[in-house]
Every structure is written in C-alpha cells, then in structure tokens.
Structure 1
Amino acid sequence: MTDTTDLPALTCFSLAITDQVAHLVLNRPEALNTMHPAFWRELDTVLARLHRSGEARALVISSTGKHFSAGMALDTFGGAIAMDDQSPEGRAALFDLLTDMQATFTRMESLRIPVIAAIHGGCIGGAVDMVTAACIRYATQDAFFCIQEINIGMVADVGTLQRLPKLIPLGIVKELAYTGRRLPAPRALACGLVNELFDTQAAMLDAALACAREIAAKPPVAIWGTKQAVHYARDHSVDDSLRQMGWLQGAIWSNRHVGEAVDAMRGRREGAFPPLAPLQRFSDGE
C-alpha cells in the first residue's frame, strides 16, 4: 500500500493506494456525504496528487452510509458561500464561483487515469455532476439518480447538463432535468448511464476494484492515450478524431510495450510496464 500521509488530513474522504489502484471513499455518512467547501478542497487536493504522481493507474470512488451522496450541502449557501443576486457585480462573481467548482469535476474527467464510480443509494444533485465525469459507473440495484436542482428552484450547474447528454438519450436527460424525478438503477442500466448492477454494495465494490486492477495491468501510457482519444472523439468529428489519433499514436507508440504485452499474453503472466512519468509544474522549478 502506498503511503498517503503526505496529504493534508482528510475529513470528507479516505484514500488508499494498493497495487497501483487508488480507492477514494466519501466518508461523512452522518451528513449523507453532502458537498460543502471542505469536500471541494479535499477532492481537488487528492485529484491533483494522483494526476501529478503517476503512482496509481486507476481510481475507484465509492461511498459510505445510506447514500452515495445527497449532493450540495444547502447550508453552505447560507453561510460559508455568499450568493449575491442584488448587484451585477455579485452576479458576475457567481460566474467565477461556478467556474471554480466546475473545474474540480473537470479535473476528475481529465485525470491521467481512468475513474470508476461505485454508486449505492441516492446519487443526488451535485453527485450526478460528479459521477458523469467518471469513465465507468457501477451501481447497486437500489441506487437512484436525481437532478435535484430543479426541485429547489435552480438549474443544475456543475456539469450534469453538459455531460449527461453525452451518456444517455437527450429525451431522458430533459425528462429528468425538467421534473427532478428519480432515475432508478434498472432504468439507468437500460439507458446506458451505468455499466452493471449488483445486488449488494460489497459485490459492486469488489467488481469495481477488480476492473481497476485489470486496467492497472495494462501499459499506463496506452491507457492514457486511449482515454485521450475517446474524449477527443466524443467532442469532435470523425475526420478530426482520426487525424488526432494519428498524432497521438505517433507520439506514444512503443515496440517494447507491444512486445511485452504479447509475451505476457503468451506466457499467461502479467506484463511489466513503466508508470506514467511524474508531473512537475513549471512554477515549482528552480
């Protein structure tokens, strides 16, 4: 297990890295794992660490208690965060506040490694924003998804309305977004929002970690390239995406990796591949 004691003390999450798989757990079940300022700070910190270090090759996000997450902590907006709608200056500041919050889930989406969300119970409001930024979603049979924002008089604003239409039919997105109805797990599976359903949370978590270990056994740079190509293709034309694929493959192609992967398959063993290189910000240099 990798030492994570160099991280600041986490109050909303726990993090473990074992056999190159990171497991991030929402751990405020008494508060239904709601999202308040500390949640955003800690998630940002953890994602930045995983992105820079290259120590993990896949990330699983799961939760504790009754619900995966009940979304935004509403008392935040009455206390820690001022929402001034009385002046153009205040409303302009709202734009920058939202941009900052959106950036956290975009950081998760653009992480150099795949992200698997393991969802049980309610995935509500901001939690839907969060899991739509993941690569793979597993859920328990009793899970449900709810675009809660419309029920409290606002528009979902941290990524759901932008990412969900890329994942499920637009008509279903509109139905959920306009009504605030719950999307039960079986229907979420049928429309493609989740990859697989499980009878228990334990079985789901075992499957999520097994999938993460399977990913971690592949060449990390090839996984990185695959994630880059899939996301680019999602947002661009086929011709543009094929052109990008040529540049990408030319940049990361490795005869050694391909040979090792083939030899490992023939020998019925795990391949030995180098990790992604650690990243350093230019501003951190001498």
Structure 2
Amino acid sequence: MTTPEPTQPSTSWTAFTVETADHVATVTLTGPGKGNAMGPDFWSELPLIFRGLDADPDVRAVVLAGSGRNFSYGLDLPAMAGEFGAVLADKAQAGPRSTFHDLILRMQDAITAVAECRKPVIAAVQGWCIGGGVDLISAADIRYASADAQFSVREVKVAIVADMGSFARLPAIIGDGHLRELALTGKDVDAEYARRIGLVNDVLPDADAVLAHAYETAAQIAANPPLVVHGIKTVLDHGRRAAADESLRYVAAWNSAFLPSEDLTEAITAVFEKRPPQFRGA
C-alpha cells in the first residue's frame, strides 16, 4: 500500500508533524534534537497531539513514525539538563524533589496520552529506538520494525531508572524475563531479536516498507466500525491500565527520592564531554 496523500494540512509543531488522510493520522517525530531526541518540545506537544487525535471524529487509526534514519535516540539529555538541574544542585531539599516529581508525572502523562488514545496506534520503527523511544512504542497498540532497527532500554547506562512507561507496559508485551534482561544490561538488540521476544509484530526490509505496512494495517483498522474498535481497545486495556498507573506512580516517587546522585551528574557530564561515564555507586 502506498502512503496516503494528506487531505488535511499539518498543524505547526516543533517536535512533530501531524497529517491526516483517509481516516489515518500520521504523527512523525522530527526532533529538533539529533536522531529525534526527546527534548522539552516533545514532552509538551505529545499529549496535546494525541488527545486532539483522540477527540477527532475523522481519525480512526494513527501511524507513529520517526523522520530520517532513526526513530528516536530517546531522552535529549543536553536539552533536558536544565530541568534536572535544580534537584541535582540541591538534592537534599524537599522543594527541588517535589518539583522533579511533578516533572516526571508530566512526562509520564505525555506517553500515557498515546496509550490512552482510543484510536489504535501503529508504530513504524526504523534505525535506533533507544530509551524514551522504547517507552513511546510500548504505548502503541502494534509495532513494526525495519530490518535495520535497533532497540535499547538504555536508561541504566545513564544512571536512570526508566520511568516513562517501559517498566509499566513491557511486561505484558515481552514478558518479565526479557524486560529484566534488557533493563538490567542496557544492551542493544536488533529487529529479529525484537520480533522473537514479541517487542515488534513483524520486520520489514527497510524504512519505506515498514511505513507502508503500518499504513496497510491502519487502513484495515479504519475500515472497521469505529465504536467497536474503541470498545476493543477499552476492553483489552481495562485489566492493564490500573497496573500501569500504579507502576508509573511508584517509579515517579522512587526517582524523585533516589534518582539524584553523583552517578547521574557524571552521566550528564559525560554526555556533554563525549566520553564514557565512570560510575562510583554514589
């Protein structure tokens, strides 16, 4: 199936483009960080986009894609360093910790807006999908990958307990054992491995093919009665939502208490200095 021609002009966003054609919306990550890294604009715009699509009667399915060679490098640490600065600079005080807790909840809400969208979301992944990128696709209903896709739950490598949804949603997708292996090692896995563990439904030859396959699935969904599609999503999500919400609240509280550390400061510094971090467990 070819990419549909948009029948509705895209809205002006900084981190995304959004187009709708034939009852299918296409949400494309555009940066502005390298590799579609997730900076402040990503976190503020994502919930607005998906809640708007949820309310749009013309939209019956959503394709979520990344522009360029990669889906997303994940959290844009340099761009978000200012958001983390207060809690790292004065980590013993309640005020900065409370502010940081609020930040985590707002960022979680952005990913949750994707999960709670009543219109089915199909993620088309090419190239790298790291950290926050995995959080994002874990909120989708269906995931496809190109043959060159690489995945990594890499937060452990930057002294962060993943808190945007991977731990809340991936157990139901890939199982507890596979998630623990990915989260504790932070290793990279290829598309075939991702298919084998159930992280993606299918692997296509290249980026064009994976996007076309996502549109084909979206068109099949859009041809079905929309109220029934909404009902299917609601019923399937019913048993998972409470567990996911509880997990997200718990990790937000955990990270606001324990995430600030010398190791996290070292991780951010190492990113800026373009060198491997040296962690000391402090």
How do residues 200-211 of structure 1 correspond to structure 2 at under 5 angstroms?
200-211=206-217
Over 6 Å off, 4+ runs: none
C-alpha deviation, 1:236, in angstroms: 8.0
Please give the alpha-carbon distance, in whole angstroms, between the structure 2 residues aligned to 1:33 and 1:44: 17
Corresponding position of 2:172: 166
What does residue 66 of structure 2 align with?
63
Percentage of matched positions with identical amino acids:
37
Q: How does 1:169-188 map to 2 (within 5 A)?
A: 169-188=175-194
Tell me the alpha carbon deviations over residues 176-203 of structure 1, each in whole angstroms, 9 at most, x when there is no partner.
1111001211111011110000111111
Matches within 5 A, 1:4-83: 4=9, 7=11, 9-28=12-31, 31-80=34-83, 82-83=85-86
Shift of 1:58: 0.1
**Which residue does the alignment assign to 1:103?**
109
Matches within 5 A, 1:97-176: 97-176=103-182
Cα distance change of structure 1 residues 60 and 83 upon mapping to structure 2, 3 Å threshold:
farther
Provide structure 2 residue ranges, at least 5 long, that are not aligned to the other structure.
Answer: 1-5, 244-282
Task: Please give the root-mean-square deviation of Cα atoms over the aligned residues, in Å.
Answer: 1.8
TM-score (norm 2): 0.79
Matches of 2:9 and 2:53, distance apart in 1: 10
Gap change, CA 1:206 and 1:120, over 3 Å in 2? same
Change (3 A) 1:233 1:79: closer
Q: Is the 8 A contact 1:29 1:64 kept in 2?
A: no
Query: Does the 8 Å contact 1:125/1:147 carry over to 2?
Result: yes
Larger Rg: 1
Structure with the larger RCO, 1 or 2 (CA within 8 Å, 6+ apart): 2
Structure 1: tracts of 5 or more residues without a match: 238-286
The residue type equivalent to 1:133 in the other structure is A
Q: Deviations over 1:5-38 (max 9, x none)?
A: 6x4x212211110000001111237711000111
Whether the aligned pair in 2 keeps the contact of 1:29 and 1:66 (CA below 8 Å) is no
What amino acid is aligned across from residue 209 of structure 1 in structure 2? Y
